[in-house]
């Protein structure tokens, strides 16, 4: 019985084991970072295949604590593919910053372990531990270059606000436990309707939501996003803005719906989520208009995207759930592409890229600007690319759940957001050439960008394929 | 026997003191201590619930929370020291090269 459970959670075990091995290698060998880099990538690729192969056999392990197979493995493979893209790009970036050390990969791997546990956890205790594992690794990664003040500052802000938010999350869990007498998510979601009569439970749920809203970077805990995204090393930003969001949303979806999606009727909570979604969409899109720093602009756009995804959570129906997962996948690929393109222009960690640095860049680097324009179109949701269908499914779910107003606000905010995405394109193509820019492109970066472009286009041209896969595994 | 609500009110009071401390104090270490106080307030409600229900999982949770809090202290202090070495201050208001 327990042996079978261990076999079922093999992807998690492999990642954990490789972390331990990497720590030993790092401790006993000087200059082992290249070696560690390759081991990390091979482990990630192997685990991705493993979780794709075992996607069919769904089961609950260790007394309903960890789920394996099905939607969990879908999340695994999504997280692993996107994180490995970020890892592949790290080597050149860190070499250029002259701060390439083995512990970077160890920290990234433990963050990935936390994210995978978040996606598979069916117990609030494990969810909390996994979330902390991910966050603690990210706090350190945000301040990875400890001699650069930007990194220090990002990491202090991230740490203080993150710990503050996990206090709220924990208090929420405590109250939910007090009302339900159990921390098991499957049990709690089964008893949802009767529990909602208890004020303690509703309060706990709201605190839980506030705590999660920090991790998914939506209102009310969004203040950290621009500062941390801008201050951290760009490869780390790429990782935490994509995989971090996917993991946090998976945990949010699971703790609200458990395994019994779409039968729950919870109006108060749904209204609160709708409000959070509205606030993050509008705030993200409007404040991004005033930003000139590229990473800061993408950070506000990330807040807005969290808002769009929250629409799917608020709608609480099957198409909403499938829409969120689809959106997360597309968002992951286009955002990681955009951040890695930005990282290719960076010469040092102190330099912050602004829109002016992109002006007229299409003359020197036509491919760079074409791909950047593609990601910007995709992020703003222009039809032939995947971003459009992500938004489409989420809005449809809101209309089906009788929340048409939410979809309308979503559309309005996408229109506002189009302005600042297209402004990047305008700077690249219609401004006079600025100072000479250097583009540090190697085979690794070209590979990642190609993968991202292919996925974004593929998800935009044949969205049904991926959507069918998602709906097949949804309960 | 002291009723459950007393414990919950005490824990809520502690939690609020922690929140107010985080929002008003400007020294990073003191902010951090207030965060620890929030976590311990939550621990108190966990224990109260657990002993009220006669269920051990709440108490186990407390151990996990304490372990996480210890890890947080290790990482938090390291981060704050790294900042202090570069900036020679841990006042949050002065940490502002990125717009706060």
> Angle between the A404-430 and A386-400 helix axes, to the nearest 10 degrees?
160
Angle at alpha carbon of residue A238, lines to A234 and A239, rounded to 5°? 120
Residue B63 is assigned to a structural domain of this protein = yes
Residue A153 near residue A230 (C-beta atoms within 8 A): no
A210-219, A318-327, A430-439: range with lowest mean pLDDT:
A430-439
Number of domains in chain B: 1
Query: What is the pLDDT at residue A117?
Result: 95
- For the segment A249-261, the average pLDDT, to the nearest whole number, is 77
Mean pLDDT in residue range A232-248: 94
Mean pLDDT of chain B: 92
Residue closest to A439 by CA, chosen among A91, A98, A92, A87: A92
> What is the rounded CA–CA span in Å between residue A182 and residue A96?
50
- Say yes or no for a CB contact (<8 Å) between B31 and A160: yes
DSSP 8-state assignment for residue A101: -
Q: A143: nearest CA in chain B?
A: B79
The answer for A 157-176 residues in CB contact with B (under 8 A) is 157, 159-160, 163-164, 167, 170-171, 173-175
Find, among B41, B39, B38, B44, the residue nearest to B59 by Cα.
B44
Contact A227 B76 (CB under 8 A): no
Residue of A132, A159, A181 lying closest to B68 (CB–CB): A132
Task: Tell me whether 0.90 is exceeded by the ipTM.
Answer: yes
Least Cα distance to A393 among A327, A328, A470 occurs for A327
Sign for the CA dihedral angle at A261, A264, A270, A276 comes to: negative
- Check if A35 contacts B (Cβ < 8 Å): no
pLDDT in tens, A342-357: 999 888 877 788 888 8
- A195 and A179 in contact (C-beta within 8 Å)? yes
B100 domain-assigned: no
Mean pLDDT across A296-311: 94
Q: pLDDT tens digits for A169-199?
A: 999 999 999 999 999 998 888 888 788 888 8
More confident site: A170 or A475: A170
Name every chain A residue with its beta carbon within 8 A of the beta carbon of B45.
Answer: 171, 174-175, 178
Asked whether residue A259 carries a pLDDT value surpassing 50, the answer given is yes
Identify the closest residue of chain B to A184 by CA–CA distance. B57
Over residues B26-38, the pLDDT tens digits come to 899 999 999 999 9
Find chain B residues with C-beta within 8 A of A175's C-beta.
45
The answer to whether the CB of A332 falls within 8 A of the CB of A403 is no
Question: Cis ω on the peptide bond leading into residue A220 (within 30° of 0)?
Answer: yes
Asked if A5 has any chain B CB less than 8 Å from its own CB, the reply is: no
What does the pLDDT average to over A308-333? 90
Read off the pLDDT band of B100 (50, 70, 90): very low
pLDDT tens per residue across span B44-60: 999 999 999 999 999 99
B61, part of any domain: yes
Say yes or no to pLDDT of B99 above 70: no
The whole model's pTM is what? Answer: 0.95
- Among A62, A107, A131, A159, the strongest candidate for a mutation testing the B interface, having the largest count of B CBs within 10 A, is A159
Q: In whole angstroms, what separates CA A340 from the centre of its chain?
A: 15
Using CB atoms, which residue from A156, A167, A170 is nearest to B95?
Answer: A156
Which member of A155, A167, A183 has the closest CB to residue B35? A167
Within an 8 Å CB–CB cutoff, is residue A146 touching chain B? yes
CATH of the domain at B60: 1.10.287.3510
Does the distance separating the beta carbons of B75 and A174 come in below 8 Å?
A: no
In chain B the beta strands, taken as DSSP E runs, fall at: none
Contact A159 B99 (CB under 8 A): no
Minimum Cα–Cα distance from A172: chain B residue: B42
Listed residue (B54, B43, B49) closest to A179, CA to CA: B49
User: H-type helices in A289-317, by residue range?
Assistant: 294-315
Q: How far is A133 from chain B (nearest CA, A)?
A: 9
Residue A225 and residue A193 in contact, taking contact as beta carbons nearer than 8 Å: no
The count of other CB atoms within 10 Å of the CB of residue A289 is 13
User: Is A128 touching B (CB cutoff 8 A)?
Assistant: yes
Let me know if residue B97 belongs to a domain: no
Q: What is the pLDDT of residues A40-61, one digit of tens each?
A: 999 999 999 999 999 988 888 8
Contact A118, A127 (CB under 8 A): yes
Within-domain flag for B31 = yes
Closest to A179 measured CA to CA, from B58, B66, B24 = B58
The confidence band for A432, taking pLDDT boundaries of 50, 70 and 90, is confident
Residue range of the domain that includes B71: 4-91
> Average pLDDT of A243-269?
77
Residue A128: which of A179, A176, A200 has the closest Cα?
A176
| pLDDT: which is higher, A193 or A237 | A237
Read off the pLDDT band of B75 (50, 70, 90).
very high
């Amino acid at each position: 019985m327990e042996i079978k459970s261990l076999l079922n959670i093999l992807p998690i075990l492999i990642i954990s084991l490789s972390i331990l091995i990497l720590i030993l290698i790092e401790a006993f060998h000087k200059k082992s970072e290249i070696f560690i880099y390759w081991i990390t990538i091979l482990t990630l690729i192997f685990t991705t295949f493993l979780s794709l192969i075992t996607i069919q056999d769904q089961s609950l392990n260790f007394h309903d604590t960890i789920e394996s197979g099905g939607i969990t493995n879908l999340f695994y493979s999504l997280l692993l593919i996107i994180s490995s893209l970020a890892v592949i790009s790290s080597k050149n970036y860190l070499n250029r910053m002259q701060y390439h050390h083995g512990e970077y990969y160890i920290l990234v791997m433990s963050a990935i372990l936390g994210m995978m546990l978040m996606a598979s956890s069916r117990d609030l205790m494990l969810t909390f531990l996994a979330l902390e594992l991910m966050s603690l690794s990210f706090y350190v990664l945000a301040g990875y270059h400890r001699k650069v003040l930007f990194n220090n500052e990002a990491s202090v802000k991230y740490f203080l606000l993150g710990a503050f938010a996990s206090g709220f999350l924990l208090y929420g869990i405590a109250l939910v436990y007090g009302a339900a007498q159990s921390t098991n998510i499957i049990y709690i979601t089964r008893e949802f309707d009767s529990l909602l009569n208890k004020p303690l439970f509703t309060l706990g749920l709201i605190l839980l939501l506030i705590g999660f809203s920090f991790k998914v970077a939506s209102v009310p805990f969004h203040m950290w996003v621009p500062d941390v995204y801008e201050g951290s090393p760009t490869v780390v930003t790429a990782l935490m803005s994509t995989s971090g969001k996917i993991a946090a949303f998976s945990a949010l979806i699971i703790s609200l719906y458990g395994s019994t999606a779409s039968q729950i009727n919870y109006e108060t909570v749904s209204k609160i989520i709708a409000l959070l979604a509205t606030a993050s969409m509008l705030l993200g899109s409007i404040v991004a208009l005033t930003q000139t720093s590229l990473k800061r602009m993408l950070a506000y756009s990330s807040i807005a995207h969290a808002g769009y995804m929250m629409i799917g959570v608020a709608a609480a129906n099957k198409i909403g759930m499938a829409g969120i997962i689809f959106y997360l996948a597309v968002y992951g690929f286009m955002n990681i592409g955009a951040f890695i393109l930005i990282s290719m222009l960076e010469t040092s960690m102190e330099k912050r890229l602004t829109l002016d640095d992109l002006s007229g860049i299409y003359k020197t680097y036509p491919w760079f600007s074409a791909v950047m324009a593609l990601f910007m179109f995709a992020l703003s949701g222009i039809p032939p690319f995947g971003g459009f269908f992500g938004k489409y499914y989420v809005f449809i779910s809101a209309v089906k759940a009788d929340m048409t107003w939410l979809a309308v606000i979503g559309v309005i905010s996408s229109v506002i957001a189009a302005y600042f995405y297209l402004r990047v394109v305008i700077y690249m193509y219609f401004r006079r050439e600025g100072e000479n820019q250097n583009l540090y492109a190697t085979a690794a970066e070209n590979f990642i960008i190609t993968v991202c472009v292919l996925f974004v286009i593929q998800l935009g041209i044949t969205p049904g394929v991926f959507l069918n896969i998602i709906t097949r595994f949804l309960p | 026997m002291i009723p459950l609500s007393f414990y919950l009110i005490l824990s809520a009071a502690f939690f609020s003191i922690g929140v107010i401390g985080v929002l008003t104090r400007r020294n990073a270490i003191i902010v951090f201590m207030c965060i620890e106080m929030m976590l311990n307030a939550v621990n108190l409600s966990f224990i109260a619930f657990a002993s009220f229900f006669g269920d051990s999982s709440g108490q186990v949770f407390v151990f996990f929370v304490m372990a996480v809090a210890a890890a947080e202290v290790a990482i938090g202090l390291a981060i704050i020291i790294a900042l202090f070495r570069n900036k020679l201050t841990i006042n949050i208001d002065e940490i502002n090269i990125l717009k706060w």
